[in-house]
């Protein structure tokens, strides 16, 4: 075993370094101070840098999120999220039997932003939907309405797609949002 003082000292030994987004680069609100310096210090390394996240949102939105937090726009060669994987699957027809989706989202408009230029028929009536898309849940809410939708969907044997499987999520000041306030729960 070799003790290393910084990631920069071993970066040239790898083709790619993949960073988890939440809890490694930032706390959901602000970047970790050493993360900004570490990523900036890797600028001249021979390896590529990538971000991988369980975020239910698109890769583009997450790239903007980390850029807005102070990471250089060109710091990462790739950003991939579970929400982006779902977008790709849908674009490739992997979910052909789905004509309409009812979205449960942390903030109003998240689903439309996630869909981007893809044609997705969102319905405001969960009973009329072919599937329920669980993107995220708002912090600090009891989620009574969302629980009722999920219970009815289960009873109707509807497909549930959870684009963010996290059971816990980091927040500012070392807080951790846990079950039942995370979509993966």
**Ordered strands of the 48-53 beta sheet:** 16-20, 48-53, 78-81
pLDDT of residue 158: 93
Does this model's pTM top 0.95? My answer is no
Tokens at 172, concatenated: 């500012």
Tokens 């991939």, residue located:
80
Tell me whether residue 62 is exposed, middle or buried, using C-beta atoms within 10 angstroms of its C-beta: 0 to 12, 13 to 18, 19 or more: buried
> Is 156 in contact with 127 (CB distance < 8 Å)?
yes
Is the pLDDT assigned to residue 71 strictly greater than 80?
Answer: yes
Dihedral sign (CA 124, 58, 7, 72):
negative
Three-state DSSP at 172 gives helix
Burial class (CB in 10 A: 0-12, 13-18, 19+), 32: middle
Q: In this predicted structure, what is the pLDDT of residue 145?
A: 85
3-class SS string, 97-146? CCCCEEEECCCCCHHHHHHCCCCCCECCCHHHCCEEEECCCCCCCCCHHH
Q: pLDDT at position 171, please?
A: 60
Q: Tokens 């490694």 map to which residue? A: 24
pLDDT in tens, 97-131: 788 999 998 888 889 988 888 888 999 999 999 99
């Amino acid at each position: 075993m070799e003790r290393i003082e910084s990631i920069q000292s071993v970066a040239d030994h790898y083709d790619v370094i993949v960073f988890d987004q939440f809890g490694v680069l930032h706390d959901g609100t602000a970047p970790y101070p050493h993360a900004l310096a570490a990523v900036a210090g890797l600028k001249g390394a021979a390896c590529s840098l990538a971000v991988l996240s369980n975020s239910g949102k698109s890769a583009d939105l997450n790239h903007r999120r980390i850029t807005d937090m102070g990471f250089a726009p060109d710091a990462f060669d790739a950003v991939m999220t579970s929400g982006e994987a779902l977008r790709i699957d849908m674009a490739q027809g992997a979910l052909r039997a789905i004509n309409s989706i009812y979205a449960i989202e942390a903030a109003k408009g998240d689903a439309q932003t996630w869909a981007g230029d893809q044609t997705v028929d969102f319905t405001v009536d969960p009973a009329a939907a072919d599937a329920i898309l669980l993107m995220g849940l708002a912090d600090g809410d009891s989620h009574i309405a969302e629980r009722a939708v999920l219970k009815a969907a289960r009873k109707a044997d509807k497909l549930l797609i959870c684009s963010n499987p996290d059971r816990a999520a980091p927040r500012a000041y070392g807080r951790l949002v846990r079950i039942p306030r995370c979509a993966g729960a």
